[in-house]
Amino acid sequence: MDNGIKCTLSKFADDTKLCGVVNTLEGRDAIQRDLDRLERWAHANCMKFNKAKCKVLHVGWHNPKHDYRLAQKANRVLGCIKRGVTSRSREVILPLYSALVRPHLEYCIQLWGPQYRRDIELLERVQRRATRLIRGLEHLSCEDRLRELGLFSLEKRRLWGDLIAAYQYLKGAYRKAGEGV
């Protein structure tokens, strides 16, 4: 099974993991060659890989799937609010959005914050959708709805959070006990 495999291969019982860096075309081709080799080995030994159990794990700073999953999760929660709550008043929708949806979009944001405009827009779209739920604001532009509700764009909230984190770091809030003594 290991013959000719260039990427890292990990085996335990009936589980096989193939790991490799795919940040270039050569890396992509190398992992594809190894996958093809493993497929040929399985076929030669009258075995099959269970495609339902095969997964791809993207790890790294520029993982596009992370933003999409966050937006999907936040949109699902927003959909539950839309279907489950009959009132469309600001007094009902705004606290539900703030408590149930926005935390998904802002959790640990200083660590993974979106870098590309398309990713930023993907997250902002969730907030736009939430503000459109509120009765009486549907006809307003997104900026006007945010102003009317006293909200900031998620991008401005991220900047505000970054500034707070930088200030706390400079003031020593992140120092562990005994460090720097």
Residue 116 covered by a domain: yes
Number of Cα atoms under 13 Å in the Cβ half of residue 7: 23
Neighbours of 161 (CB within 10 A): 14
Task: Indicate if 38 and 70 belong to the same structural domain.
Answer: no
Task: Indicate if 164 and 124 belong to the same structural domain.
Answer: yes
Residue 113 covered by a domain: yes
Task: Please calculate the CA angle 81-83-87 and round it to the nearest 5 degrees.
Answer: 70
| pTM for the predicted model, two decimal places | 0.61
Beta bridge partners of 9: 18
Q: What is the dihedral of CA 165, 170, 172, 176, to 10 degrees?
A: 70
Task: Indicate if 86 and 145 belong to the same structural domain.
Answer: yes
Asked whether 66 and 74 are in contact (CB, 8 A), the reply is no
The pLDDT, as a whole number, for residue 22 is 80
Domain count, the chain: 2
Residue 83 covered by a domain: yes
The percentage of the chain sitting over the pLDDT mark of 70, rounded to a whole number, equals 90
| Three-state secondary structure call for residue 87 | coil
Domain with 140, as residue range(s), is: 64-170
Residue 81 covered by a domain: yes
The pLDDT, as a whole number, for residue 42 is 87
- Nearest Cα to 157, choosing from 173, 168, 146, 170? 146
**Which of the residue ranges 45-49, 72-76, 88-92, 109-113 would you say has the lowest mean pLDDT?**
109-113
The pLDDT, as a whole number, for residue 60 is 66
Residue 180 covered by a domain: no
Task: Indicate if 23 and 77 belong to the same structural domain.
Answer: no
Task: Indicate if 34 and 122 belong to the same structural domain.
Answer: no
The pLDDT, as a whole number, for residue 181 is 43
Neighbours of 78 (CB within 10 A): 21
Residue 134 covered by a domain: yes
Q: Which burial class, exposed, middle or buried, applies to 21 when counting CB atoms under 10 A from its CB (0-12, 13-18, 19+)?
A: middle
Residue 166 covered by a domain: yes
pLDDT in tens, 141-173: 999 999 999 999 999 999 998 899 889 889 887
Residue 68 covered by a domain: yes
Task: Indicate if 68 and 138 belong to the same structural domain.
Answer: yes
DSSP-derived letter for residue 99 is I
pLDDT in tens, 56-94: 777 666 666 666 788 899 999 999 999 999 999 999 999
